């Protein structure tokens, strides 16, 4: 197993912000399975209560309903915590283009609140979610840290700002911060019902419902889709990486890419259904191609992604088949 060589002292406590979200709830699940003490924080603005409720009976878990924009809540959440895994944020590039100020409030102020609370509480390390969107209009492939282009969206700007805060808090305030530039994470619990749903659950739900999917642009845009288990590994290894690794952000991906057209075909094959997509205009702020160079991540974080796209993809499709069919049957 990929986590066997990741060990923490007995009694280690983790705070997972955004614990009701897709990535946050998977982190909570994994940490509790390993016997760690975990505190979750979420305000349910985008997270789902069901993702919290399933852990409430676990004696190693406690949950705070609260907002990272509230500095007092952040201090309460960080009390007695060894490691913060900060996932709380507003996602979605398209929404950020429509509502820029709420992204500044949540993603920038909220994250700086959490870093300050972690510093004041003596947290050992602060690991936070960044994004591949920070590469902007850089045409270079694969994407390498330090070779970013012009920012294309408000969402990307907030994540780049978070990285600057992480560098500052590491170098000036002594809080060891590690940023993780996620590349199109997918897996169980990813919400297919949001207006801004990620492409994989959105495609799966539409095809299971016999509805055509709209693909923005020509479908030849490519993405480095990253299975959730690789992301969990990256978060845990970031907690244990040498201090020299802190104050930086790293690509978290598998290192291979696939076009949306090919992705759509693969979903159809696995679901044994064939529905032609509908092509629409390109979306503002979207990056055309995404492929990560993970050499720095391997070097500094000892990251080794064991889950390739095909393996993770089959598991994700099976999970959605089971859970969406159950949901459809319950609602019928």
The catalytic residues are 155
User: Rounded to an integer, what distance in angstroms lies between the CA atom of residue 182 and that of residue 84?
Assistant: 17
CA distances from 58 to 32, 34, 53, 298 (A): 8, 12, 10, 33
3-state SS class at 112: helix
- The whole-angstrom distance between residue 84's C-alpha and the CA centroid of its chain comes to 14
Q: Which two tokens stand for residue 233?
A: 């590994």
- Nearest-CA neighbor of 166 among 128, 136, 131, 132? 128
Residue 249, both tokens: 């952000």
Q: Residue 50: CB partners within 8 Å, gap ≥ 6?
A: none
DSSP string, 278-329: EEEPPPTT--SB--B--HHHHHHH-------HHHHHHHHHHHHHHHHHHHHH
Question: How many other C-beta atoms can be found within 10 angstroms of the C-beta atom of residue 307?
Answer: 20
């Amino acid at each position: 197993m990929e986590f066997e060589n990741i060990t923490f002292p007995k009694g280690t406590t983790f705070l997972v912000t955004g614990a009701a979200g897709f990535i946050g709830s998977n982190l909570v699940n994994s940490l509790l399975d390993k016997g760690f003490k975990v505190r979750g924080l979420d305000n349910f603005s985008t997270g789902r209560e069901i993702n919290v409720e399933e852990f409430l009976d676990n004696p190693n878990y406690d949950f705070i309903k609260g907002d990272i924009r509230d500095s007092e809540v952040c201090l309460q959440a960080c009390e007695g915590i060894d490691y913060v895994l900060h996932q709380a944020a507003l996602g979605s590039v398209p929404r950020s283009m429509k509502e820029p100020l709420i992204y500044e409030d949540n993603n920038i102020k909220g994250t700086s609140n959490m870093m300050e609370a972690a510093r004041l509480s003596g947290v050992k390390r602060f690991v936070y979610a960044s994004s591949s969107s920070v590469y902007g209009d850089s045409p270079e492939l694969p994407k390498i840290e330090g070779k970013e282009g012009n920012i294309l969206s408000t969402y990307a700007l907030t994540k780049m700002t978070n990285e600057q805060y992480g560098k500052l808090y590491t170098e000036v305030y002594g809080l060891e911060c590690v940023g993780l530039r996620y590349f199109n994470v997918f897996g169980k619990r990813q919400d297919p019902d949001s207006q801004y749903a990620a492409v994989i659950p959105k495609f799966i739900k539409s095809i299971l419902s016999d509805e055509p999917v709209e693909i923005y642009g020509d479908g030849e845009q490519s993405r480095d889709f990253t299975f959730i288990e690789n992301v969990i590994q990256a978060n845990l290894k970031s907690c244990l990486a040498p201090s020299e690794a802190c104050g930086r952000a790293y690509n978290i991906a598998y290192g291979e890419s696939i076009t949306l057209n090919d992705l759509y075909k693969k979903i159809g094959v696995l679901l044994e259904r064939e529905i032609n997509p509908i092509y629409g205009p390109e979306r503002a702020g979207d990056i055309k191609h995404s492929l990560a160079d993970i050499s720095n991540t391997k070097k500094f974080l000892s990251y080794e992604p064991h889950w390739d796209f095909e393996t993770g993809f089959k598991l994700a499709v099976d999970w959605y088949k089971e859970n969406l069919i159950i949901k459809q049957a319950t609602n019928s």
